[in-house]
Chains A and B, each alone.
Chain A
Amino acid sequence: MFAPEIVLTAVLNGLLTGSVYALVALGLTLVYGVLHIINFAHGALLTAAMFAVLVAHLGLGLDPYVAILILTPLFFALGYLLQRFVIGPAGHGSDTNLLLVTLGLSIVIENALLAVFRSDTRSIDVPYAFASIDIGFTLLSVPRVVAFVVALAVALALGAILTLTDIGKGIRAVAKEKLGAALVGIDVNHVYAVTFGLGTACLAVAACLLMPTFYVTPRVGNAFVLVAFTIVVLGGMGSILGALLGGFIVGVVESLCGLYFGESLGQIGVFLIFILVLLVRPTGLFGAKA
Chain B
Amino acid sequence: MSVRDLLPIVAVVGVLALIPFGASANTVLNFLVFTLIIAIAAQGWNILGGYGGQFSFGHAAFFGTGAYATAMLQVHLGLNAWVAFAIGIGAGAMVGLVIGFLSFRSGLRGSYFSLITLAFAEVLRIVANASAITGGAAGLLIKLDVRPANFQFHSRAAFFWIGLALVALVLVLTRWLEHSRFGAQLMAVRENEDAARALGVDALTVKLGAIALSAAITAAAGCLYAQYFLYLDSTIAYGLWISVEALLAPIVGGIGTVFGPLIGALALHGLGNLTSLMAGRIPGIDLVVYGALLVLVVAFAPDGLLGLVKRLRARLFRRAATETA
Contacts and interface: CB of A to CB of B under 8 A. Distances in A.
A265 B122 CA distance: 12
A32 B110 CA distance: 14
Given A38-B115, A97-B302, A101-B299, A115 B288 contact: yes
A58 interface: no
Contacts of B103: 278-279
Given A99-B111, A107-B287, A112-B288, A90 B295 contact: yes
Contact of B106 (A91, A97, A230, A279): A279
A275 interface: yes
B111 A95 contact: yes
Nearest to A118: B283
A103 interface: yes
B123 A275 contact: yes
Contact of A112 (B114, B129, B284, B298): B284
A100 B244 contact: no
Interface string B91-121: 0000000000011001010111011101110
A267 B288 contact: no
Given A95-B110, A264-B129, A278-B112, A100 B298 contact: yes
B55 interface: yes
Nearest to B295: A104
Given A100-B251, A100-B298, A267-B126, A114 B291 contact: no
A56 B302 CA distance: 40
Nearest to B99: A275
Contacts of A108: 288, 291-292, 295
A140 B127 CA distance: 31
A229 B103 CA distance: 17
Contacts of A180: none
Contacts of A267: 122, 126
A233 interface: yes
Nearest to B283: A114
A51 interface: no
A215 B107 CA distance: 39
A282 B119 contact: no
Contacts of B298: 90-91, 97, 100-101, 104
Given A103-B294, A104-B295, A111 B285 contact: yes
Contacts of B251: 100
Interface string A71-92: 0000000000000001001111
A226 interface: yes
A278 B294 contact: no
Contacts of A226: 118-119, 122
Interface string B257-297: 00000000000000000000000001111011011111100
29 contacts: A89-B299, A92-B299, A92-B302, A95-B111, A100-B298, A101-B299, A104-B292, A104-B295, A106-B291, A107-B290, A107-B291, A111-B288, A112-B284, A115-B285, A115-B288, A118-B283, A230-B119, A262-B130, A264-B129, A268-B127, A271-B119, A271-B123, A271-B126, A272-B123, A275-B120, A275-B123, A278-B103, A279-B116, A282-B112
Given A101-B298, A226-B119, A280-B106, 12 more contacts: A86-B295, A90-B295, A91-B298, A103-B244, A105-B295, A106-B291, A107-B287, A107-B288, A107-B294, A222-B240, A268-B123, A268-B126
The 6 closest A-B pairs by CB, nearest first: A107-B291, A114-B284, A104-B294, A111-B284, A90-B299, A108-B291
Interface of B: 55, 102-103, 106, 108, 110-112, 114-116, 118-120, 122-123, 126-127, 129-130, 137, 240, 244, 251, 282-285, 287-288, 290-295, 298-299, 302
